[in-house]
Amino acid sequence: MAGLLSGLEQFGLGNLENMDLYESQKKEAKGADGKPAAPVVQEQDFLFDKSFTCPICDKEFKARTVKIGKAKLAGSDLDLRPRYEQIDLLKYDVIMCPDCGYAALSRFFKFVTSPQAKNIREKISATFKPQKEEKEIYTYDEALERYKLTLVNAIVKQTRASEKAYICLKTAWLLRGKAEHLDKNLPDYEAQKKQCADEENAFLKNALEGFLAARQTENFPMCGMDEPTVDYVIAVTAMRFDQYDLSSRLIQGILQSSTANPRMKDKARDIKEMLMKKIKEKNAAKK
């Protein structure tokens, strides 16, 4: 390398004349064990800025959006909350106009009637403080703020019970993700974890109430879910709050359904076993 970068001194960079041209590549190419190091994947690597036109104020804006097929599904929770490797996709499912405050889940963003738009302009946009959308990633707290704004919009729009229930369900899932990613070294870790759990339960109870109401008045599919899937989510959530009769009835319906797929029936059988165990423990406690 001697002499290759000579002459930099005239720019005041004489201290850089002996730099190794490929030093950074050499460091990246080998790990601590001498083997090729895996590239470091960061959350922003899954995201890009997608342009949207707000159906309320007609202004164009960009929002952070997950690249299709980029994230790898790692599994799901009992209530179907999806878990992906290296990113929580739930943080990026809300689209929010930074100018007028209209916000909705991605699947509902474009669908606004004239009366709904009027309500949003009068009750939200009139007092909304424009936001700057310049973030590479969203924190859980920022994502939660966006979900709560989405729920307010849904209430103002007087949208279907299923949509409001679905927002509550996904907000509960987001709170669960926040709790899982809390820094255990925080001085108030236990307090924050409890707060997340309390808020999650509150949103799940509202999701349960909304889906039960929607089940009586709306047609399927509901928020992209067929009847067995909605009944399964209701059953799991009802079991969480010790509503065993409701949960058992819905699970039995799934097992007898001609439209439920084999995978859903397998999940329903697992819930049935859990229910039987919980009911047995409850009865034993009464004796």
Residue 161 covered by a domain: no
Model confidence, pTM:
0.85
Residue 243 covered by a domain: yes
8 near 16, Cβ under 8 Å?
yes
The pairing of strands 73-76 and 82-84 is antiparallel
Amino acid at 60: E
Residue 129 covered by a domain: no
Q: How many domains does the chain have?
A: 1
Residue 246 covered by a domain: yes
Residue 247 covered by a domain: yes
Residue 260 covered by a domain: yes
Please tell me the predicted confidence (pLDDT) of residue 4: 57
The pairing of strands 73-76 and 60-66 is unpaired
Residue 85 covered by a domain: no
Residue 179 covered by a domain: no
- Continuous H helices in the chain: 23-29, 114-120, 140-157, 161-180, 189-217, 227-240, 244-256, 262-286
Q: Could you list the pLDDT tens digit for every one of the 287 residues in the chain?
A: 445 555 556 555 656 556 655 454 445 445 555 565 556 779 999 999 999 999 999 999 999 999 988 999 999 999 999 999 999 999 999 999 999 999 999 999 999 999 999 999 999 999 999 998 778 999 999 999 999 999 999 999 999 999 999 999 999 999 999 999 999 999 999 999 999 999 999 999 999 999 999 999 999 999 999 999 999 999 999 999 999 999 999 999 999 999 999 999 999 999 999 999 999 988 888 77
- Residue 254, domain extent: 226-279
